[in-house]
Amino acid sequence: MNEAKTVAFIGLGVMGGAIARHIGQAGHRLTIFNRSPARVDRWQEANPGLATRVASSPADAASDADVVLTCVGNDDDLADVVLGPQGVFATLRKGGTFIDHTTVSAKIARQIAVEARDQQVHCVDAPMTGSQIGAEKGTLTLMCGGRADAIEAGRAVMEAYSSRIVHVGKAGAGQTAKMVNQICIAGAVAGLAEAVRFAQAEHLDLDKAYEAISGGAAQSWQMDNRWKTMAEDSFDFGFAIDWMRKDLGLAMDEGRGIGVSLPITALVNQFYADVQALGGGRQDTSALIRRLPRRGGK
């Protein structure tokens, strides 16, 4: 293992909790913080003795850290835990490293990078892909924006829970790469949902249909992992439609700012709104198929 570091992790949700576990298991000295103390208690019950200490605030968490990581909800949450009076940057030492895994706007990522530069702190915006399964297995892909030296400063910690670390560009580029990822997923899920419903209406053997098409140009991660579960109306896989709509909103906002039209993204975003109206906001993104009724077919 690389040299053990003192690491503070802020945000113990579905993804963050799993990441923090991997960091502790890799032998790093782990401090944890979550704005909801109950979540801290649950994490400690599931991971006894893995955290060296529990911090009272983000500033307290960062006070003795070599590396601080955040995985929170949105732009406002991130600004509060990083730039607020009790935020990370109030205490993180010069030469320390800050890594954010939240999916947020490129604007807030760039703002934080400027603040980090002024404080002589390494800064990486590193949204993730790989879903809850990837977080649990420690096989996430990280899309990193920032300076090369900042990414290298955080690499020893990031390797504890990822299988791929890609430096995609300057500050904010990690977030825009994540937008590209979500745009691709939105189109793939929408097409897959229609394909499954069409196959059902035609009374095809779904296993045979999958066998026939999954080895060719139609193949995708979504098909391999969600064809069968969509057909079974099983949608409990971690990444909620509510979060997908947040991410697609970020992509469309960024697109408007640079003059790029995203008509398919906008359409699928409205399809997801339909599923939210059906009460599916906390279901996995593959629940998009719920808006397509089953038909009797031939």
Burial, 16: exposed, middle or buried (Cβ in 10 Å; 0-12, 13-18, 19+)? Answer: buried
For residue 7, what are its two tokens?
């690491």
CB 171 within 8 A of CB 117: no
Report the C-alpha gap between 189 and 216 in whole angstroms. Answer: 17
CB 256 within 8 A of CB 225: no
In this structure, the dihedral spanned by the alpha carbons of residues 157, 6, 148 and 87, taken in order and rounded to 10 degrees, is 110
168-197 b/e (C-beta count within 10 Å ≥ 16 → b): beebbbbbbbbbebbbebbebbbbbbebbb
For residue 197, what are its two tokens?
């419903």
User: What are the beta bridge partners of residue 122?
Assistant: 97
The helix (run of H) or strand (run of E) holding residue 90 is none
Would you tell me how many other CB atoms lie within 10 Å of the CB of residue 118? Answer: 9
Would you tell me how many other CB atoms lie within 10 Å of the CB of residue 85? Answer: 8
Q: Which of 107, 178, 208, 228 is catalytic?
A: 178
Tell me the backbone φ, ψ of residue 218, rounded to 5 degrees: -80, -15
Closest CA to 109 of 140, 83, 136, 135: 83
Q: Is residue 178 annotated as a catalytic residue, yes or no? A: yes
The catalytic site residues sit at 178
